[in-house]
């Protein structure tokens, strides 16, 4: 799985990062969770709270957006978008 993360403030792109993560023994959900943890670690941001809306968006479009309210710590951006590339 290749996962791309984008940090946005308003319409300004602050950071973009892409990771390749594979765990052939894990289910898709487990692999996505592990890839998201690794992406957040590499981008040096806290983990967002995953909500039902994120599940619906990711299932339909292979991408979702986390807003600053979904982070338990204060963040320097408005939105964190993740997109599955492959």
Condensed to tens digits (0 to 9), the pLDDT of residues 36-86 reads: 999 999 999 999 999 999 999 999 999 999 999 999 999 999 999 999 997
pTM score of the predicted model: 0.92
Ordered alpha helix ranges (H), the chain: 28-43, 52-61
Whether pLDDT at 15 is above 90: yes
Is 16 in a helix, a strand, or coil? strand
pLDDT for res 50? 97
């Amino acid at each position: 799985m290749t996962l791309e993360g984008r940090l946005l403030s308003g319409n300004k792109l602050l950071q973009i990062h892409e990771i390749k993560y594979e765990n052939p023994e894990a289910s898709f959900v487990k692999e996505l969770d592990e890839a998201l943890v690794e992406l957040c670690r590499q981008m040096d941001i806290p983990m967002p709270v995953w909500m039902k809306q994120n599940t619906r968006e990711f299932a339909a479009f292979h991408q979702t957006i986390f807003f600053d309210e979904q982070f338990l710590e204060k963040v320097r951006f408005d939105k964190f978008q993740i997109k599955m590339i492959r």
